[in-house]
Amino acid sequence: MKKNIDNFKMFYLSFLGKAVSNILSQKILNLWKPINNSRIAAIGFCSPYLRSINKKTQRTFFLVPSSHGLHHFDVNNKNLTVSVNEYILPIDDLSLDRLLVIHSFEYLTDHNKFLREAWRSLDKNGEILIVVPNSFGLWRPYYKNNLSSLRTFSFSELNSLLLNNFFMPINFSNSLFFPPINNQFILDRANIFEKASKSFLKFFSGVIIVRARKNYSTAILKEKKIIKRKVMQKIRS
């Protein structure tokens, strides 16, 4: 199936999609308390999740990857929507407090380049929250076949990507422990699956959620070392 923003729209109109958005919205709010007066950008397909955080923020930017297609957001909401190149974000340096990445990271071809751009856009103490399909989860085939994700992720892969791009992971979490089927009986009990499965089935969750903080001092220190090395090489030459 070709990736298209209509696939996401149809998914979130289904019983399954509504159950997912309810669970993940609460998860995001719990991980990111408090968010009052924060400057937040959300990249990917995020409209089902912005409704729960829009009222609490100073401003929310909805960034839709151009490869997803066009998406129009409700103009009455406190929100700015724009189609973007994920590797050149139209955001000023140090202008965001939080960046939510959902239905985006698994479609990237250059994760390092995207994370460097995210690092640039976030304030000194800014945080990124990434939601991705789990490599070992029950939802892996669903993400690939129905939402056309290019890849899935493990804890170690995410940890390495973030550390190598000047982010410090501060929380790894799991969600979506119920099977990806449109069965109303199961979906009505989705929260029970979430509570019961956290401890002994976390490695088989549908998604991994990682919260990471911008490691500003490490990047500056590395830059100083590079400059010093170049100066010494120039002196020796």
pLDDT digits (tens, 9 = 90+) for 177-231: 888 988 776 777 777 777 766 666 777 899 999 999 999 766 555 554 544 454 4
* Spatial separation of the C-alpha atoms in residues 168 and 159, rounded to whole Å: 8
pLDDT at 232: 46
- DSSP three-state, residue 154: coil
Flag whether pLDDT at 75 surpasses 80.
no
- Position 6 pLDDT exceeds 90: no
- Least trusted range by pLDDT, from 12-21, 66-75, 84-93, 202-211: 66-75
Which pLDDT belongs to residue 218? 61
Q: CA-CA distance, 9 to 95, in Å (whole number)?
A: 29
Q: Please report, rounded to a whole number, the percentage of residues in the chain having pLDDT higher than 70.
A: 80
Total number of domains constituting the chain: 1
Lowest mean pLDDT among 12-21, 34-43, 46-55, 183-192: 183-192
CA dihedral 67→104→124→23, nearest 10 degrees, is: 140
Q: Give the integer Cα–Cα distance in Å for 235 and 237.
A: 5
Task: Answer yes or no: are the C-beta atoms of 23 and 190 closer than 8 Å.
Answer: yes
Confidence of residue 79 (pLDDT cuts 50, 70, 90): low
Rounded mean pLDDT, 2-31: 88
In which domain, by residue range, is 118 found? 5-236
pLDDT, position 101: 97
Q: Which two tokens stand for residue 192?
A: 């029970």
CA 24/CA 183 separation, integer angstroms: 19
Would you state the pLDDT for residue 231? Answer: 40
d(CA 226, CA 59): 36
- Mean pLDDT value of segment 132-138: 93
User: How many CB atoms are located within 10 Å of the residue 226 CB?
Assistant: 10
**Statement: residue 148 has pLDDT above 60:** yes
- pLDDT, average across residues 31-60: 80
Residue corresponding to tokens 């990682």: 210
Give the CATH number for residue 23. 3.40.50.150
What is the identity of the amino acid at 234? K
Please, what is the average pLDDT of the chain? Answer: 83
> Is 80 exceeded by the pLDDT of residue 161?
yes
Among left, alpha and beta (phi > 0; psi -120 to 50; other), residue 176 is left
**pLDDT score of 206:** 93
Greater pLDDT, 1 or 3:
3
